[in-house]
């Protein structure tokens, strides 16, 4: 399932060309940053001409907004199916484990592609700012849906606020990803997500004490 980004109606060939441009831009931005990626770089990487690029995108900001949606789709897809099954505390921990495993496999190199892009362009024009908000909202939506389900099914107390809890988990995720990149270890990310999930657990209607597996404590 993809995010709710709005794309123009195109012929199959036109859609393929646009996708190729956006994917090339997203790859270059991830490696060099938004400031370090020029439209000439994108044209060369996507094997397109200036007239083709400007047929699909009004300017670099327009392309950056499309790249933000691309990064969102890629990130969410990498966390599935766990991301779409967050309707219990064990499910939250399975998603947490998948995120940590991905960081370990990447040897903690690079940060969050969407977070890094947002750090560069969030202070730009209002349209770009709005798109970034929608991207993060889309990413957090499975968390919000799962936490709402947990509350409605009685797994969490009625006073649990799914919006606040989802936002807290996303903040822990972003901060943890930044520190894991800085320290070259997934430990800060693991700790941040564990603390966020433990906060969710504080609203649990199950009074039995949760046991965190030993391997989590060793991260």
161 touches 203 (CB < 8 A): no
Q: Quick one: 22 and 96 in the same domain?
A: no
10 Å Cβ neighbour count for 59? Answer: 10
Domains identified in the chain, total number: 2
The answer to whether the beta carbons of residues 95 and 22 sit under 8 Å apart is no
The dihedral formed by the CA atoms of 147, 99, 113 and 177, expressed in degrees to the nearest 10: 90
> Which residue reads 């770089």 in tokens?
41
Q: Which domain holds residue 44?
A: 12-57
Per-residue pLDDT of the chain (219 residues; tens, 9 = 90+): 445 455 667 788 889 999 999 999 999 998 899 999 999 999 999 999 999 999 999 999 999 999 999 999 999 999 999 999 999 999 999 999 999 999 999 887 777 889 889 988 888 789 999 999 999 999 999 999 999 999 999 999 999 999 999 999 999 999 999 999 999 999 999 999 999 999 999 999 987 755 455 444 444
Q: Where residue 39 sits, what CATH number does that domain have? A: 1.10.10
- Looking at the fold, whether 92 and 194 belong to one and the same domain comes out as yes
Task: Enter the pTM of the model.
Answer: 0.85
Residue 93 belongs to domain with CATH number: 1.10.357.10
Strands (E), 49-181: none
């Amino acid at each position: 399932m993809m995010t709710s980004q709005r794309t123009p109606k195109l012929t199959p060939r036109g859609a393929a060309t646009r996708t190729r441009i956006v994917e090339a831009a997203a790859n270059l931005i991830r490696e060099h940053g938004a400031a370090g990626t020029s439209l000439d770089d994108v044209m060369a990487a996507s094997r397109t001409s200036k007239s083709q690029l400007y047929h699909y995108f009004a300017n670099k900001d327009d392309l950056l907004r499309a790249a933000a949606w691309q990064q969102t789709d890629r990130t969410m897809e990498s966390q599935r199916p766990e991301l779409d099954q967050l309707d219990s505390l064990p499910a939250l921990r399975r998603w947490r484990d998948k995120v940590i495993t991905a960081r370990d496999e990447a040897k903690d190199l690079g940060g969050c592609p969407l977070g890094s892009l947002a750090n560069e362009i969030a202070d730009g024009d209002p349209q770009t700012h709005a798109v970034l908000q929608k991207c993060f909202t889309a990413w957090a939506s499975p968390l919000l849906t799962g936490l709402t389900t947990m509350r409605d099914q009685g797994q969490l107390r009625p006073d649990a606020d799914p919006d606040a809890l989802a936002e807290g988990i996303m903040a822990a995720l972003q901060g943890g990803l930044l520190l894991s990149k800085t320290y070259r270890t997934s430990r800060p990310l693991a700790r941040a997500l564990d603390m966020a999930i433990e906060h969710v657990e504080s609203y649990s209607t199950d009074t039995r004490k949760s046991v965190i597996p030993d391997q989590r404590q060793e991260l």
